Amino acid sequence: MQEALNRDCVLKTTENEGYIKKLVHGSRANTYTLVSYNAAPIENQTLLWAAPIVWVKRA
């Protein structure tokens, strides 16, 4: 998941929740904080997978 760090990503947590968030290191080992542009961060999540978003088309 190194390629996804500090980037906007589509991701899935181990609780089976899907998000589009900026991915940063969590404060605990093997966790991540999910940063939003319009809500509070979701801290110390474990992930199943994360993939960087490479392109967004805005209307």
Does the residue 10 lie in any domain? Answer: yes
Does the residue 59 lie in any domain? Answer: no
Q: What CATH number is associated with residue 34?
A: 2.30.30
Q: Does the global pTM surpass 0.85?
A: yes
Does the residue 26 lie in any domain? Answer: yes
Does the residue 9 lie in any domain? Answer: yes
- Residue range(s) defining the domain that contains residue 46: 2-52
**pLDDT tens digits along 20-38:** 999 999 999 999 999 999 9
Does the residue 7 lie in any domain? Answer: yes
Number of domains in the chain: 1
Evaluate the CA torsion angle 16, 22, 26, 30 in order and state its sign: positive
Does the residue 32 lie in any domain? Answer: yes
Does the residue 57 lie in any domain? Answer: no
Share of the chain above pLDDT 90, in %: 86
Mean pLDDT of 5-29: 96
- CB neighbours of residue 22 within 10 Å: 17
Share of the chain above pLDDT 70, in %: 100
